[in-house]
Chains A and B, each alone.
Chain A
Amino acid sequence: MIKIFLADDHPVVVQGLSLIFEAQPDFKLLGAATTSDEVVKLINKGAPQAWDVLVLDLDLPPDGGWLVLEQFLERFPVKPVLIYTRKPEKNLAVRALKMGAAGYLSKERSTDELLAAIRVAHDGDYFETPAVAEFLRQQKNAQQGEPHERLTAREFAIFSRFSNGQAPGKIAEALGVQPGTISTYLQRIRGKLGVENNSEITEYAYRVGLRD
C-alpha cells in the first residue's frame, strides 16, 4: 500500500486525482493540503512519518512549493517527493532533482505516467524522464571528483548514517521509509563507491575521513 499525501492548491485537480488514486488497489490518499503553510505545519509536527510519497505542486500559495520541498527534505531527506506541476519540466526539473526531489512531472503528462512515477519513487528510484536523464548525465559528468561526491543528496543522507554505524532498519525507521528502500539505496551507493559489500562502505568512509 503506497500512502500518498497531496499538496495542490486547486480543488478540481485534488478531486480528480483522488478519483484516480481511489481506482488503484495499492494506493491510498492520506490527505491533501492546499497551502504551503498547511504542509509546513504538518512537516513540523512530524506527520510525514506516515506518508510514503508526497505529491507536490510548485504553485502553492503563499510561499510556493520550493520552500515546502526544502523544508520537507531537511526533515525527511530520503522520503520521495514527486513534483507534479504546470510549470514545464525544462529548466526546473533538474533543479528540483538536485535539491533532492524524487521526480518531476509536468501536469501535461498522463495520469498513467503519474501513477508509474509514484510507484517508482516509492521504490527509491527515478521515473525516467528527459530531465532525469539529464540529471543523471550531469551526475556522471561530475565523476572527476571523489566517488562519494557522485552520491545524490538522498544517497548521501543514507551513506553518512550507515557509515556511522546505524543499522539499515534504524535508518528506515528514522527517515520514515521502508527497510527495502534502504537496501535499494545501499546497493546504489555500493555501485557508485565501487565497493563489494556494506562493510566496505564503512571502510570507505574511514578512508576519506567521513567517519571518525
Chain B
Amino acid sequence: MARQFLRPDLPTFADYAAATTRRNVVVMLALVAGGIIAWWPTDRWVFGHDAALVAAFSQWRTAMLTVALTAVLYLWFAARRGWTPWPGYVTAIVGFSALNGWVLAKAGAPDTPWIHSQYVLAPISLMFIVRPLVRGIVIALFVTACLGAYFAFDSSYLHKTGAAFLLSFMTFASLLSLAGGHLLYRLLERDFSRGQALAANNRHLERLVGEQTESLFRLAAGVQETRENDRSQIAKDIHDDQGQYLTALRIHLDWLKNQPSATPERLASFVQTTSHLLEQLNATQRKIIERLEPYDNRLGLATALEILAENWSQDTGIPCQTQISAAANRLPPPLAAPLYRIAGEALTNIAKHAAASRAELSLNNNGNLWRLAISDNGRGLSQQGSGGYGLLNMQARAQALGSALQFKTPADGGCCISLEFSA
C-alpha cells in the first residue's frame, strides 16, 4: 500500500481516489466481459428449446462486450490525455442497464423488467471512491429516475402489492450503499494520509541518512587528506632539506680530501660551513620528528601550547605572546590533538611566509564555546602566496572538528587565523 502512496503522480487523495476508481471500474468491466464470454456456451444448454432466445442472448452478449470494450478504451485514452473518466463510467452503467432490461424483456420477464436491473446500481456505486455528498446525490438521482421511469411507464404499478416493497428495497439499498461508501471513503482517506505521512517521514529519514553519510565521507576524506599532506610534507622535509644538507656535507668533505695543503683560514671557514650544515640538518630532523611524534596530551593542551610557542620563539627569534585559558588543559585528546597541530601549522606558516616581527596565540572559552586564534603583524595572507599544504592541512583538521578556519586581515596589516568550536 505504502508503495502506491509514494507514487509522485498521485500527490493528493483526490488523485489517488480518481486512480483507484478508474482501476476498480476497469477491473469490474474485465470481470463482466470475462463472465459474459465464459457463460456464453450455457445459453444453448439453458434455452436449447428456444432458438430465438439463444440468438437474443448472443446479441446481448455481443452488445455487452462492445460496451465494456468501448468504456475501457475510453478510460485508457482519458487517463493518458487527462480527460475526465466519467463518460466511460456512464457509458458502462447506462449501456449495461439498458441491455440487461432489453434481454430480460426478451426472456419474457414480467412487467417492464429492464427497470429491475437498477436495483444493483446503488451497490455498484461502491466502486466509486467519491465524496459521500457526490455519492448521495448521484444515487438519489439515479434511484429517483429509475423509480420514476418505472412508475411513469405504467402508473397502475403504484397500486400493485409489490410497489411498497420495491420502494423500500430501493431506499434500503441506497442507504446501505451510502453508509458503506462513506465508510470506505473515510478508511481510504485515513490510509492515504497515513501513507503520505509515512512517505514524508521516509523521505526525511533518507535525507538525514544521506546527509550523515555525506558528512562521514567528508570527514573520512578530510582525515585521509590530512594524513597524505602530512606524509608528503615529511617526505619533502626529508628529501629536500635533510637530503640536500647531507649532499652538501658530502661535497664539502670530498673537497677537504682533495685539499691536503689548505690554509688554516680556509680550514677554519670549512669547519664553520660544515658545522652550519650540521646545525641545519639537526633542525630539519627535529622538525620531522615533531611532525611524526603523536601529540601527547599528558601535559594538557594549555601547557603544550605554551611550550610550542616558547620553542617557536626560540627557533625563529620572533616573540610570541600567549593567552590560553587554563581550562584548555581539560580538553580531551581528540580535540586537543588537532588544535595543537593547527596552532603548530599556523606558527610554521608565519615563520616561513609572513615576515612578521610579532605573533600571538590565544585559546579562550565562554562556557563550552571555544575560540583558537593565531595572529601576526606580517605581510597578510594575500602576500604569502597559496599557502600550500599548511593551509589545506589546517582546513582539513578544522573540518574534522566540525568547524572551519576563518582568515582575517586586520586594517593595520598582518593576519589572524581563528577557529570556533564547542566542547
**Residue-by-residue, is A47-91 near B (CB-CB < 8 Å gives 1, otherwise 0)?**
000000000000100000000000000000000000000100000
B96 contacts partner chain A, Cβ-Cβ < 8 Å: no
Q: Cα distance A12–B245 when bound, in Å?
A: 7
The answer to whether B252 touches A107, judged by C-beta atoms less than 8 angstroms apart, is no
* A111-B255 CB under 8 A given contacts A12-B248, A13-B248, A16-B248: yes
* B244 touches which of A10, A23, A108, A111 (Cβ 8 Å): A10
Chain B residue contacts of A10, Cβ below 8 A: 240, 244, 247-248
Q: What are the interface flags for B214-253 relative to A under an 8 Å C-beta threshold, 1 for contact and 0 otherwise?
A: 0000000000000000000000000110011101101110
Q: Is the beta-carbon distance between B254 and A20 smaller than 8 angstroms?
A: yes
Highest count of chain A CB atoms <10 Å: which of B244, B247, B250, B252 = B247
CA distance A19 to B252 in the complex (A): 8
Residues of A at the B interface (CB closer than 8 Å) are 10, 12-13, 15-17, 19-20, 23, 59, 86, 107-108, 110-112
Q: A10-B244, A107-B247, A111-B250 are in contact. Are A16 and B255 (CB under 8 A)?
A: yes
B386: min CB distance to chain A, Å? 12
CB pair B240–A13 under 8 Å, yes or no, is no
Q: How far is the CA of A23 from the CA of B256 in the complex (A)?
A: 10
Indicate if the CB atoms of A86 and B247 lie closer than 8 Å. Answer: yes
Contact pick for A111, options B240, B243, B254, B280, CB 8 Å = B254
How many B residues touch the partner, as a band? Answer: 10 to 19
B323 within 8 Å of A (CB atoms): no
Q: Are A23's CB and B259's CB within 8 A? A: yes
Q: Which residues of B contact A110 (CB under 8 A)?
A: 250, 254
Contact residues, B268-287 vs A (CB, 8 A): 273, 277, 280
Which residues from chain B sit less than 8 Å from chain A, CB to CB? 239-240, 243-245, 247-248, 250-252, 254-255, 258-259, 273, 277, 280
Complex alpha-carbon distance, A15 and B247, angstroms? 11
Q: Which residues of B contact A17 (CB under 8 A)?
A: 251
Measured between beta carbons, the chain B residues less than 8 angstroms from A107 are 243, 247, 250
Complex contacts, B240 vs chain A, CB 8 Å: 10, 59
Interchain nearest-CB distance for B162 vs A (Å): 107
The contact of A86 among B244, B254, B255, B273, by CB within 8 Å, is: B244
A23's nearest neighbour on chain B, judged by CB, is B258
Q: Which residues of B contact A23 (CB under 8 A)?
A: 255, 258-259
B251 touches A20 (CB 8 A): yes
Contacts of B255 in A (CB 8 A): 16, 19-20, 23, 111
Given the known interface contacts A20-B255, A23-B255, the answer about A86 and B248 at a Cβ–Cβ threshold of 8 Å is: no
Nearest-CB residue, chain A, relative to B270: A19
Find chain A residues with CB under 8 A from B239 CB.
59, 86
Closest CB-CB distance, A106 to chain B, in whole Å? 10
Q: Which residues of B contact A16 (CB under 8 A)?
A: 247-248, 251-252, 255
Q: Once the chains are docked, how many angstroms separate the CA of A107 from the CA of B277?
A: 16
- Given contacts A23-B259, A86-B239, whether A13 and B244 have CB atoms under 8 Å apart is yes
> Taking CB as reference atom, which chain B residue is nearest A113?
B254
